[in-house]
C-alpha cells in the first residue's frame, strides 16, 4: 500500500512505458510486424508513432476508418478527414489510421484475430517508445437484460463460466491470466456518459465467448443442441453474475493489456436484449446510430484528457 501511495504521489513524473514481456525481443535485429506490414528496419516507428496517447480498436475496418475521420473533426486537425491514409495498406488483415495522438485500428472478429493484432500493436507501441497510453475497445455486443442501444462499460471481462480470466494454450498447456481492467478509466467514462445526450450507459461485466451462435446460447445458428429454457437459464445465471453484455474479444484484450502495463477499457453498445431474442432486427440506420455511441463517448474522454473541453 505504501509503495502504491508513493507511486501515485509521483505518478505525474513517472512515465508509464509499454512493457513487452518477452526476453527474446531485445536481441532481435529486426522485428517484422507481419500483419501490419510494418518493420523496425523499414519504418521509423518512434517517429511515426511516438506521440500516441490513445489507441482505439474495434472489429470492423469501415467503422474504425469512420472513427478516425470523426476524431479528425473532433480534434479540429488541419486537412480533410477524407484524406486520412491506411498505415497498413500493404495488408488487408487489419487497417490502421493515426489522427494526432489517436490510433484507430481494426481487429476482426474473435479472440484469435484480436490477439494477433494485440501482439503486434503492443510491440509497435514498445518499439515506438510510447508512454502513458490508454487503450479502448469500441464494439458491439448482445445485451443481457438491457434495452438495445445501451452502452456497457466493462467492469470485469469474464469467460463462459463468468470468471474474470483468460485461458491461452501455450506449448499444449493451459495458461490462465487475469482480465481486470482499469477501474479509474471505467468510472471516468461512466461520468462522461451522463454529460452526453442520448447515451444510456452502465458499468457491468462483459462475457467473452468463442462463438456468436451456440457459444452465446443462440437458438438460431446452423447447430443448436439445447432448449429455449436452457438458454434462458444460462442467461439468467450470467445476469446474476453481473454480466450485462456478451461479445467475443474482451477477455484477451483485458489480459494482454494488463500484463503489458497498459490502461484499458472496453466500451460496447448492445444491439439487442438477449432475453427477448437472438436475431438482430433493428433497422440499419438504428444500428448505425447505436454503433456511434461508444465512439462519441470515447471521443469525449479523449477531448477531456487533452483539455479541449
Beta carbon nearer to ligand URA, 247 or 292: 247
Positions 104 through 143 that interact with ligand URA (CB under 6 A):
140-142
CA distance 303 to 309: 6
Beta carbon nearer to ligand URA, 101 or 143: 143
Site string for ligand R2B, 96-115 (x = CB under 6 A): -------------x------
Is residue 257 a contact partner of residue 200, using CB atoms and an 8 Å limit? no
Does residue 212 interact with ligand R2B by CB under 6 A? yes
User: How near is the Cβ of 290 to ligand URA at its closest, in Å?
Assistant: 10
CA distance 157 to 299: 22
Residue that is written with C-alpha cell 456468436 in the block: 212
Is residue 185 a contact partner of residue 265, using CB atoms and an 8 Å limit? yes
Q: 142 contacts which partner out of ligand URA, ligand R2B, none, CB within 5 to 8 A by kind? A: ligand URA
In 3D space, the residue among 185, 58, 66 whose CA is nearest the CA of residue 133 turns out to be 185
Question: Applying CB under 6 A, which part among 37-45, 135-143, 192-200, 230-238 lies near ligand R2B?
Answer: 135-143
Beta carbon nearer to ligand URA, 36 or 253: 253
- List beta partners, residue 36: none
User: How near is the Cβ of 92 to ligand R2B at its closest, in Å?
Assistant: 17
Where helices occur in the chain by DSSP H, the ranges are 2-9, 45-49, 61-74, 111-127, 183-193, 228-240, 250-259, 284-305
Is residue 204 a contact partner of residue 242, using CB atoms and an 8 Å limit? yes
In 3D space, the residue among 160, 103, 142, 127 whose CA is nearest the CA of residue 45 turns out to be 127
CA distance 280 to 198: 21
Q: 239 contacts which partner out of ligand URA, ligand R2B, none, CB within 5 to 8 A by kind? A: none
Does residue 148 interact with ligand R2B by CB under 6 A? no
Q: 216 contacts which partner out of ligand URA, ligand R2B, none, CB within 5 to 8 A by kind? A: ligand URA
Positions 237 through 256 that interact with ligand R2B (CB under 6 A):
247-249
User: How near is the Cβ of 233 to ligand R2B at its closest, in Å?
Assistant: 23
Helices (H) and strands (E) in the chain, counts: 8, 12
Does residue 155 interact with ligand R2B by CB under 6 A? no
Positions 140 through 179 that interact with ligand URA (CB under 6 A):
140-142
**Helix (H/G/I), strand (E/B), else coil: 31:** coil
Chain residues in the site for ligand URA (CB under 6 A): 140-142, 212, 216, 246-248, 271
> Which stretches of the chain bind ligand R2B, using CB under 6 A?
59, 109, 139-141, 212, 247-249
Amino acid at each position: 500500500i505504501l509503495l502504491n501511495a508513493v507511486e501515485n504521489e509521483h505518478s505525474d513524473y513517472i512515465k508509464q512505458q509499454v512493457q513487452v514481456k518477452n526476453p527474446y525481443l531485445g536481441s532481435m535485429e529486426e522485428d517484422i510486424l507481419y500483419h501490419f506490414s510494418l518493420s523496425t528496419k523499414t519504418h521509423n516507428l518512434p517517429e511515426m508513432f511516438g506521440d500516441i496517447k490513445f489507441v482505439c480498436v474495434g472489429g470492423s475496418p469501415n467503422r474504425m476508418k469512420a472513427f478516425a475521420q470523426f476524431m479528425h473533426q473532433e480534434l479540429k486537425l488541419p486537412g480533410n478527414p477524407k484524406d486520412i491514409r491506411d498505415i497498413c495498406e500493404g495488408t488487408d488483415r487489419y487497417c490502421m489510421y493515426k489522427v494526432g495522438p489517436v490510433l484507430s485500428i481494426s481487429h476482426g472478429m474473435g479472440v484469435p484475430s484480436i490477439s494477433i493484432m494485440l501482439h503486434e500493436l503492443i510491440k509497435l507501441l514498445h518499439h515506438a517508445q510510447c508512454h502513458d497510453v490508454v487503450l479502448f475497445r469500441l464494439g458491439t455486443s448482445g445485451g443481457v437484460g438491457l434495452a438495445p442501444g445501451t452502452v456497457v462499460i466493462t467492469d470485469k471481462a469474464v469467460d463462459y463460466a463468468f470468471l474474470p480470466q483468460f485461458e491461452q494454450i501455450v506449448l499444449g498447456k493451459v495458461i490462465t491470466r487475469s482480465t481486470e481492467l482499469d477501474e479509474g478509466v471505467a468510472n471516468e467514462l461512466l461520468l462522461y456518459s451522463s454529460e452526453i445526450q442520448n447515451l444510456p450507459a452502465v458499468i457491468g461485466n462483459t462475457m467473452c465467448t468463442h462463438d456468436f451462435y451456440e457459444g452465446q446460447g443462440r437458438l438460431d445458428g446452423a447447430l443448436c443442441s439445447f432448449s429455449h429454457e436452457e438458454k434462458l437459464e444460462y442467461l439468467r445465471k450470467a445476469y446474476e453474475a453481473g454480466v450485462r453484455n456478451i461479445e467475443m474479444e474482451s477477455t484477451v484484450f483485458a489480459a494482454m493489456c494488463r500484463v503489458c502495463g497498459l490502461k484499458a477499457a472496453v466500451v460496447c453498445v448492445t444491439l439487442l436484449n438477449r432475453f427477448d431474442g437472438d436475431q438482430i432486427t433493428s433497422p440499419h440506420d438504428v444500428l448505425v446510430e447505436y454503433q456511434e455511441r461508444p465512439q462519441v463517448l470515447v471521443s469525449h474522454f479523449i477531448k477531456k484528457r487533452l483539455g479541449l473541453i
